[in-house]
Amino acid sequence: MVKARSLQDLAAIKAKLVADAEQAAALEAAKLKAQRRANAEKTLFVRAVGAVTTLDHAPRVDLSPMPAPPLAQQQIRDDINVLRESLSDDFDVSTLLDTDDELSYRSQGIGTDVTQKLRKGHWSLQGQIDLHGLRSDEAREALGQFIRDASKRGWRCVRIVHGKGLGSPGKTPVLKSKVQRWLVQKTEVLAFVQAKGSEGGAGALVVLLK
**98-153, pLDDT tens digit by residue?**
655 567 899 888 998 999 999 999 999 999 999 988 999 899 999 999 999 999 99
Measured CA to CA, the distance from residue 184 to residue 91 in angstroms comes to: 9
Say if pTM beats, i.e. exceeds, 0.95.
no
Antiparallel, parallel or unpaired: β 157-161 and 127-130: parallel
- Decide: 208 and 156 in contact? Cβ < 8 Å: yes
Range from 53-57, 153-157, 202-206 carrying the lowest mean pLDDT: 53-57
Q: Is the pLDDT assigned to residue 198 strictly greater than 70?
A: yes
- Topology given in CATH for the domain delimited by 93-209: Ribosomal Protein S8; Chain: A, domain 1 (3.30.1370)
DSSP helix/strand/coil, 104: strand
Give the residue among 105, 84, 80 at the shortest CA–CA distance from 181.
Answer: 105
